[in-house]
Amino acid sequence: MDGVIVKTTLQLITPGILFVFGLAFICAWLIEKKRNYLLLLAGACVLFALGAMSQILSLPPGAGPNAIVSGALYTSAVIAAVEGILVRSGKGLGPVIDLAILAGFVLLIAYFFYIDRRLIARVYVQNFGYGLLMLIAASRLTALARGPYVDRVLFWILLLFGLHFFPRTLLTVGFSAPIDRTAFGNSIFWQALQLSLAVLGVGLALAILAAAVSDMIDDLRRERDLDLLTGILNRRGFQERVSAHLRKYGPSRTALALCDIDNFKSINDTLGHDAGDDVLGEVGRMLRNASRKRDIVGRLGGEEFAVFLPDTDEQEAVDYAERLRIAIEQNSFAVLGGARQVTASFGVGALRPGDSWPSLYKRVDGRLYEAKRTGRNRTISHSLSSVSADAPVAGSALQEL
């Protein structure tokens, strides 16, 4: 009798660990309630633990009801885990498909107990089915394998977890299941199943929890690096993103454009700071919309903005700045009610061989000052300058300095 108690207690260790992980996911969700996938993952841990306890403790009693209840709990747990992992990446299957999968599993388990009574069939339906669900999830998340380290770990553990169901089942149960409950509990299949769940299940739970914590940290970094008024990066965020880009890709074909709203102080003084904030927000929106995905856009402070332009030569950077300058000049800025026109000045430059980021920034900042000093509403680069249409130039808006 004591041996049975010890064996049962040892079998309950894995469900107990999963309960702990379920609580951890709930605590994580309480910290960041917008991440609903954490509730799915908490539910997966609790459901799987309940399924294991149902099977270990024979609750409900009776082979048929126990097989269906424990099978439904196990299946719900796997579906919740797969759905939670997919929802985190915006690729969830949806409740209709989830319920259809659950119903299919339960019907098959009931069929192979009450109609075609074959334990081996139930073993293969559940194990191969769960493995297939995880492999489907992994196939939808292949992008994670090229993402941050924590995402790569999550992907490979999920893939390994899904794959292991097939050889483990074939090698440990073969094509003939144990004839009774006692033999099944003592079988290599059951022992291998408990070991794999303890190792891979806990590993997957840890990987998902680490990914959730990583998501929260990324959100905190984004909030720290974001200028809330304009929706673009603040000075710190801009500098960090530029430094990271230069470390990864180097300075090849890289340009910088600095922008300063002309006479911004007079907007604040005459129309109020709310109007000034609206102008800043609108300019920030225009910069975001005009920039490519790989460009880095930031507000350096006050009314000064910066755009880091990878894979861009100087002429292309000048063209980009000119389009923005003209767009700002022609924008109506509804908040101003037509009371005044808003213009901006630009300084532009590109990295030269052997150049550094600080020297580029200093040079472009000098060109921005030059644009402000020589009349505003113009773009100046190290070899080219562009002035507004009403300035005293002939022909093209671009001219040699």
Distance CA 307, CA 299 (A): 9
Q: Of residues 83, 223, 240, 303, which has the active-site annotation? A: 303
Distance CA 123, CA 331 (A): 68
Residue 270, SS3?
Answer: helix
Residue 297, SS3?
Answer: strand
Asked if 254 contacts 312 with a C-beta cutoff of 8 angstroms, the reply is yes
Q: Which of 98, 175, 172 is nearest to 137 (CA)?
A: 98
Distance CA 169, CA 173 (A): 6
Distance CA 379, CA 371 (A): 6
What is the distance of C-alpha 383 from the center of its chain?
42
Q: In terms of DSSP bridges, do strands 254-261 and 304-310 run parallel, antiparallel, or are they unpaired?
A: antiparallel
Distance CA 204, CA 45 (A): 11
Integer-rounded Cα radius of gyration of the chain: 31
Asked if 201 contacts 168 with a C-beta cutoff of 8 angstroms, the reply is no
Distance CA 176, CA 198 (A): 25
Q: Which of 292, 344, 343 is nearest to 317 (CA)?
A: 292
Q: Which of 355, 360, 351 is nearest to 313 (CA)?
A: 351
- Establish whether 304 is a catalytic residue: no
CA atoms within 13 A on the CB side of 281: 11
What is the distance of C-alpha 19 from the center of its chain?
26
Q: Could you give the residue numbers annotated as active site? A: 303
